[in-house]
Structure 1
């Protein structure tokens, strides 16, 4: 068995050390590792020539299929547990470039109904509070996506006193959110009133130009999808005067119009 991180910021170093020292498991991961080190560690795991892969976001699987193709013949199969990873793998399957079978753990009812809803719901709120120490009561908390993860976050944010606003492109889910007691708005409408914006969709640039051009001063942006693609970081970089780290896992973008926008966990998975 060999382990690496599924996200550059997700490793708990004490846990990794214990796995190595107490259980003699090979671990290649350091909290806060840069992108180069992250993929170096993925390749270190792949150097063990795995027969079965367990992935969280499909970085391991995609690396095998792109730069480590010599390993494909030795892999029996694998699993993927995230919505984002399953989206990537279904695209690979559709294009005929997925070369070994994957079990979608994310499609298990216990994963969707319990881990996504209750686990992600709680851990996302916990991640935001640990990073910012913000008081949620009275805040307008905008959640993009009303799948199982979005439902869980919305329920917990409401329970802590936030006014929850849902952004949802699926009309059935949008109606469900409304009947669950939440406001449902367009991105443009929500941008004018939101204090905290969270994306939980698995899609790219969900918190994008429409929101970023008109959001208020001092807004907080976070992502609970797997990759750092749900917040349009390129737009922020191009339209800001400066970027600085104001506390661990919080970056401040000073926009050219004077507004300050705070991005949590470098736009990566906040939970």
Structure 2
């Protein structure tokens, strides 16, 4: 028997009592965007998931191929009539048993999906204000670059942003350098130089980050680099924007007393939509 919300019930009534994702955050996940019966950037998502599973010593089932990954996600989206435009999340967790030391490295997975309003990426013409989140810092290590279910810094940072009337916050690593936003990677334009922090700084190895790094090289006057960004650099920027697979590109229009333009963000958005329509 267990106590669940003040009621004594059978342990079997709550499947989370042994679930390692619930008990220890022993899980990794991928969030994908589906449009027109297709998972965008499928290969990048699949290989990042496989890499994440290897990093935390999960066994990868023999049948867990890219085709299987695709089939499982799209079959759920089809069943729920979500093939036109939706977001889906696959969470892979280590199976029940053990405490910190698991009894097995075998895995199970869970997929869920919800509808999205827009098929292609767009940028809303409105103010988007951010500030630094300094209550906690992200450690500069490999685990920080993969998508585990331990996102407590992102959660507390989101609460902080909401309490202070902000649209987002910028996270710092333990060297006090800028690494990313709460919901995506960050890019900074100074002059003709587009900068994003290297993954070695502790930022997420984002799928959309990879796409933007490639697309930006197609803009003839832009030089693309991966360099350390300090909080002081943000005040010098001409543009700041956030990237993730669901939103695409989100320009930051205001940081403290500094306002930013959105020219390159809009150019990249056009290139991004062209790329996904071709593929």
TM-score (norm 1): 0.29
More strand by share: 2
More helix by share: 1
TM-score (norm 2): 0.28
Structure number with greater CO (CA < 8 Å, separation at least 6) is 2
